[in-house]
Chains A and B, each alone.
Chain A
Amino acid sequence: MPYFNITYQVKESIAYVTLNHPQDGNIISESLAQELRDVCQEINEDGDIRAAVFSGAGNKAFCLGNELERHLRDKNTGRNILVEIESVPSRYGVASAIARLTCPVIAAINGDALGQGLELILSCDIRITADVAHFGFPPIALGLMPIDGATQRLPRLIGKAKSLEMLLSGELISAQEAYQIGLVSKIVPQSRLASEVDQWAKKITTKAPIALRYAKEAINKGLDLTLEQGLRLEADLYFLIHTTEDRETGVRAFLEKKPPEFEGK
Chain B
Amino acid sequence: MSGFETIIYEKKEGIGYVTLNRPQALNVYNLKMRDELYQILGAIKDDSEVKVAVFRGAGERAFCAGADLTEFLTAPSPTIARQARWERDVWGLFLSLPQPIIAALHGYVLGSGIEIALCCDLRIASEDVQFGLPETGLGIIPAAGATQTLPRTIGRAKTLEMLLAGTRLNAQEALHLGLVNQIVPREQLFPATEKIARKIASRSQPVVKYTKFAILHGLDLTLEQGLELESKLASLALKVRYAE
Residues of A within 8 A of B (CB): 68, 72, 78-79, 81-82, 85-86, 88-90, 93, 96, 140-147, 149-156, 158-165, 167-171, 181, 220, 223-224
A-B contact count (CB 8 A): 134
Q: How large is the interface on B (under 10, 10 to 19, 20 to 34, 35 or more residues)?
A: 35 or more
Chain A positions within 8 Å of B152 at CB level: 160
A155 contact from B202, B215, B237, Cβ within 8 A: B215
**Whole-angstrom distance between the Cβ of B94 and the nearest chain A Cβ:** 15
Closest to A154 in B: B215
A161 contact from B181, B207, B231, Cβ within 8 A: B181
- Contacts known (A82-B243, A152-B223); A160 close to B238, Cβ less than 8 A: no
The 9 closest A-B pairs by CB, nearest first: A143-B204, A151-B214, A152-B226, A224-B222, A89-B231, A147-B234, A143-B241, A152-B218, A82-B242
Interface of B, secondary structure class, is helix
A167 contact from B211, B240, B243, Cβ within 8 A: B211
B199 interface residue (CB < 8 Å to A): yes
Closest to A88 in B: B238
- Cβ B231 vs Cβ A145 within 8 A: no
- Cβ A151 vs Cβ B235 within 8 A: no
Q: Which of B140-156 contact A (CB under 8 A)?
A: 152-153
- Cβ A168 vs Cβ B212 within 8 A: yes
**Whole-angstrom distance between the Cβ of B199 and the nearest chain A Cβ:** 5
- Cβ B207 vs Cβ A152 within 8 A: no
Chain A positions within 8 Å of B244 at CB level: 143
Chain A positions within 8 Å of B210 at CB level: 145
B162 interface residue (CB < 8 Å to A): no
Closest to B175 in A: A180
Bound CA span A153–B223, Å: 8
- Cβ A162 vs Cβ B178 within 8 A: yes
- Cβ B235 vs Cβ A72 within 8 A: no
- Cβ B237 vs Cβ A152 within 8 A: no
- Cβ A161 vs Cβ B178 within 8 A: yes
B81 interface residue (CB < 8 Å to A): no
Bound CA span A82–B233, Å: 15
B208 interface residue (CB < 8 Å to A): yes
Chain B positions within 8 Å of A146 at CB level: 211, 214, 230, 234
Binary per-residue interface labels of chain B (188-223) against chain A in the complex, 1 for a CB within 8 Å, 0 otherwise: 000000001001101110011011101110110011
Chain A positions within 8 Å of B22 at CB level: none
- Cβ A181 vs Cβ B122 within 8 A: no
Closest to B205 in A: A143
Most buried by B among A81, A86, A90, A96: A86
- Cβ A145 vs Cβ B211 within 8 A: yes
Bound CA span A220–B123, Å: 29
Closest to A181 in B: B178
Bound CA span A125–B192, Å: 34
- Cβ B235 vs Cβ A160 within 8 A: no
- Cβ B207 vs Cβ A143 within 8 A: yes
B113 interface residue (CB < 8 Å to A): no
Most buried by B among A85, A152, A153: A152
- Contacts A161-B122, A164-B100, A169-B199 aside, 6 further interface pairs with beta carbons under 8 A come to A85-B242, A152-B229, A155-B215, A160-B216, A161-B180, A168-B212
**Whole-angstrom distance between the Cβ of B43 and the nearest chain A Cβ:** 22
- Cβ A147 vs Cβ B242 within 8 A: no
Q: List 24 A-B contacts (CB under 8 A).
A: A81-B238, A85-B239, A93-B231, A141-B203, A143-B244, A144-B237, A145-B237, A147-B230, A147-B234, A147-B238, A150-B230, A152-B223, A156-B223, A158-B178, A159-B153, A160-B153, A161-B123, A161-B181, A164-B100, A165-B181, A167-B211, A168-B208, A168-B212, A170-B203
